[in-house]
Amino acid sequence: MSEQPAPAPMPVPAPSASPLPPGVAAALKRDNAGLVAAVVQQFDTNEVLMLGWMDDEALHRTLTSGRVTFYSRSRQEYWRKGDTSGHVQWVKSVAMDCDGDALLVRVDQVGAACHTGTRTCFDGRGLDVTALDTSTTSGEA
């Protein structure tokens, strides 16, 4: 059985009044809610800290303020990381992936990145992997 690729996100056009540069706004592939996933990574250790969501305004604020701003899907409002916790994310760089449907935000994280108080949202949350190790059974050396 061949593996089927995941369906591509439905492109949502850039808002007509997008605050982003036209080329960036045109390249982003947003979900049906107008959002794009933003993976946050510690700039010097490459540690993956968290995943958040951004619309055009949140990305614009992130690119122009030096601090990471997300769009909360549950509260339907913007929030800037660290405003209430003091655990600030200072932006070092932002990159768009090859498909335009994800962002990589490299930061200098102050304190915990996760709302639970852990350094990353992935601390202590590893899952058991039971897949067959094909590197030793495929005949490749």
Tokens of 115: 């709302």
pLDDT band at 21 (very low <50, low <70, confident <90, very high): very high
Whole-prediction pTM? 0.80
Q: How far apart (Å, rounded) are the C-alpha atoms in residues 84 and 111?
A: 12
Query: Among residues of the chain, what percentage have pLDDT more than 90?
Result: 77
pLDDT band at 133 (very low <50, low <70, confident <90, very high): confident
CB atoms closer than 10 angstroms to residue 35: 21
| Residues facing 94 on adjacent strands | 105
* Alpha-carbon distances, residue 81 vs 55, 70, 87, 100, 130 (angstroms): 15, 8, 7, 23, 36
Confidence check: pLDDT of 76 > 70: yes
